[in-house]
Amino acid sequence: MAARILAEGGLVGMPTETVYGLAADATNGEAVARIFEAKGRPLFNPLIAHVASLDMASQEGRLDSAALKLAERFWPGPLTLVVPAARTCSVSDLAQAGLPTLALRWPAHPVAESLIRAFGKPIAAPSANRSGRISTTDAASVADELGSAVDLILDGGACPVGVESTIIGWQDGRMTLLRPGGIAIEAIEEVAGAEAFRLTTDHLEASGIVAPGMLASHYAPEARLHLGCTNLSEAEAILAFGALPKNIRKDARIGQLSEKGDLREAAANLFRMLRWLDSGNPKSIHAMPVPDCGLGLAICDRLKRAAAPR
Ligand code: TXA
Ligand code: MG
């Protein structure tokens, strides 16, 4: 049924291992336009084309040996590769936002993979949230965010990774980290045998490549978010990581990312806990410090953007 809705130009809420995606036929410009409309997303923001085989990926993008090496090691999985579009690329210009490059990902989720296979063409899917807001990691949150704008939501339960894919591109042959995500950059560098260039927002603006997940304010809750908080005595809502300090308000709402300080568990809980804390309508949310190594880099990245002034 979901594949038929896609073929008819409709939108489907699709679970992946990272976050839920708002899926449409990547080759159908009108269907892709509906994604932008439903999300309130700026049109200059390109979408990831989701595939379910290396053949399908190579049809759409030109994977050189460096890209292939990462694809073979990490696909299916939370890695997106930005490569030059192939001559045979079928993805609509709108999904590519007119860029000569294409973002490709093979998600490691049985529901996403079977949907892509049943549909037989690449699926464009940004995170299933309104633009700039917290990403969704369960089907009920997709319904809350997008409501009637989506034709069908496939309920695949909670997303096991919980933060979006790591995005890697190449600029002048240099491997570049465009967005930290579900695969630690250290693991990618080890397989690539090279260090990744860490792109900053300044570089992005100068290069004209707009990776909106890289915009200063993104993933934002309604409440103000304060980072790296160690004094929590006045906090009404706490995004906790590790053991809580003794001195906190009795009525504080506590969203625990990982009591034992496990970054993988924290990533999987991040967006759900932020949503839940925000749903209590606090004035502000105080987040405890999270280390910025391994998966912590993606967590800190999302928290920094969620805390940025809007
Ligand atoms: O885990 C994920 O990647 C999720 C799931 C649904 O697959 N998708 C996701 O999509 O996070 P989205 O649209 O929220 O983020 C995709 C990011 C955007 O920041 C976009 O700007 C960037 O990828 N992007 C897409 N195509 C690009 C390109 N050709 N060059 C540079 N950045 C690109
Ligand atoms: Mg997003």
Better-scored residue on pLDDT, 132 or 25: 25
Q: Which of 307, 137, 135 is nearest to 222 (CA)?
A: 307
Ligand 1 atom with least separation from CA of 210: 21
More confident residue, 251 or 219: 251
Say if residue 294's pLDDT is above 60: yes
Measured CA to CA in angstroms, residue 161 lies from 26, 54, 119, 263 at distances of 24, 22, 24, 10
For residue 266, is pLDDT > 60?
Answer: yes
Question: Above pLDDT 70, what percent of the chain?
Answer: 94
% of residues, the chain, pLDDT over 90: 85
How far, rounded to the nearest angstrom, does the alpha carbon of residue 173 sit from its chain's CA centroid? 25
As residues whose CB is below 5 A from the ion ligand 2, the structure lists: 127
**Matching residue, tokens 């995170």:** 127
DSSP for 1-67, please give it: -HHHHHHTT--EEE--SSS-EEEEETT-HHHHHHHHHHHT--TT---EEE-SSHHHHHHHB---HHH
Q: How many Cα atoms within 13 Å fall on the side-chain side of residue 125?
A: 35
Confidence of residue 26 (pLDDT cuts 50, 70, 90): very high
pTM over 0.85: yes
pLDDT tens for residues 114-155? 999 999 999 999 999 998 899 999 999 999 999 999 999 999
What per-residue confidence (pLDDT) applies to 112? 98
- Measured in angstroms, how far is the CA atom of residue 1 from the centroid of ligand 1? 26
Q: Which residue has the higher pLDDT, 214 or 80?
A: 80
> Which range among 41-45, 209-213, 246-250 shows the weakest confidence by mean pLDDT?
209-213
State the sign of the Cα–Cα–Cα–Cα dihedral 139, 143, 146, 148. Answer: positive
**pLDDT attached to residue 207:** 54
- Pick the residue whose CA is nearest to atom 10 on ligand 1: 126
Q: What is the pLDDT of residues 105-114, one digit of tens each?
A: 999 999 999 9
Residues touching ligand 1 (Cβ under 6 Å) are 16, 18-19, 21, 45-48, 78, 80, 82, 99, 101-103, 105, 107, 125-127, 164-165, 167, 169, 178, 209, 211-213
Strands of the 284-287 sheet, one edge to the other: 224-226, 284-287, 237-240, 253-256
Q: What is the pLDDT of residues 173-220, one digit of tens each?
A: 899 999 999 999 999 999 999 999 987 666 665 555 555 556 677 788
User: Of the bound ligands, which one is closest to the alpha carbon of residue 133?
Assistant: 2
Per the model's pLDDT, the better-predicted residue between 171 and 260 turns out to be: 260
In angstroms, the CA 145 to CA 143 distance is 6
H helices then E strands: how many in the chain? 11, 14
Q: What is the pLDDT of residue 206?
A: 57
